[in-house]
Amino acid sequence: MIFLTGDYLNSQDGVPVVRKLVCQLKAKHWIFTIIGNWDFWYFANVVFEGTKVKVLDGDGVRLKVNGCWIYTSGASVENESALEQSLRKRRPKDFTVLLYHSPELIEDASRLGFDLYLSGHTHGGQVVLPFYGAIITLSRYGKRFERGLHQVGNTLMYVNRGIGFEGGFSPLRFCSRPEVTVFRIAGIAGE
């Protein structure tokens, strides 16, 4: 499965580029996405119309992968209240994945029993000072979840640095290399 966690463009000129890239993605199972703040404010769902990408917003999809049930749900950045609604088709033994653009919902995700929470938004700080870390994260948690793997309760959250730039800043990354992360999920229960 491929999971995309928002903020695909900084300008309308990027729409055809992102659409072309998205159409070239290949996954054995689905490609899932949610809408980030830049997408919501300026581009809505225009990027994914007519593509094979499933946009999650208050809903979820249950798939059997190698004998195990994985339930993937998500909500767009301006639809935090849809988190509980996104779980309505989940079954008790499903390995449950949440896609949400920022780390802001980690406490709720942990309370609701998500196993894995995938987010972005912070760009890992985009500009990072050695021995200090991110200068800006644009998260209410500040530097607490600026990048990488975190555990809150029984929920693992990964905050991806992404491959682009924050739209309001100059196109600069310093000590925050772009990333595409690969997870191998093993040892989850079957039916």
Q: What is the pLDDT of residues 140-171, one digit of tens each?
A: 877 788 888 999 999 999 998 887 766 665 67
CB 191 within 8 A of CB 93: yes
Q: How many CB atoms within 10 Å of residue 128?
A: 21
For tokens 């730039």, the residue is: 165
Return the CATH class of domain 2-159.
alpha beta
More confident of the two residues 136 and 55:
55
Beta-sheet pairing, 133-134 with 128-129:
antiparallel
Q: From 14, 32, 34, 17, select the one nearest 167 (Cα to Cα).
A: 14
Instruction: Give me the mean pLDDT over the 5-18 stretch.
Output: 81
Distance CA 34, CA 180 (A): 16
Cα–Cα distances (Å) from 103 to 5, 27, 94, in that order, read: 11, 25, 22
φ and ψ of 124, to 5 deg? 65, 15
Q: What's residue 189's pLDDT?
A: 56
* Domain residue spans of the chain: 2-159
Q: What is the pLDDT of residues 85-141, one digit of tens each?
A: 999 999 999 999 999 988 999 999 999 999 999 998 777 777 778 888 777 777 787
Q: What's residue 161's pLDDT?
A: 82
CB 163 within 8 A of CB 120: no
Q: What's residue 45's pLDDT?
A: 60
